[in-house]
Homo-oligomer: A and B are copies of this chain.
């Protein structure tokens, strides 16, 4: 749970938190059913407002990454992709090809997003 939030970054604080939790879940650092820190608690430790943390949690809930219940807290959703080895290999290949083509990160992710949306 060693997340870092950069208040001076170009990305909104809640979006940074969404990204970090998303990656932690995808990489298996947080497992299905595992409990996340309470919003007030995490807000205190990251020096954020509770509402900012809850906004991130609610976006992650809308995305099916976590489940939220009052009194109980936030936990990683039960249904998570099990096997990501094929995805990880595909990403490694893509990064390699993009590097060789001198493609920027922005253009690469734009192309991926376009391809996913079809």
Q: Which residues of A contact B (CB under 8 A)?
A: 19, 22-23, 26, 63-65, 81-84, 86-98, 100-117
Alpha-carbon distance A90/B94, docked complex (angstroms): 5
Residues of B within 8 A of A82 (CB): 101
Alpha-carbon distance A63/B96, docked complex (angstroms): 20
Known: A22-B107, A22-B110. A97 touches B101 (CB 8 A): no
Min Cβ gap A109→B in Å is 5
Q: Of B101, B104, B113, which one neighbours A109 at CB under 8 angstroms?
A: B113
Min Cβ gap A14→B in Å is 14
* Cβ contact within 8 Å between A113 and B103: no
Residues of B within 8 A of A112 (CB): 91, 94-95, 108-109, 112
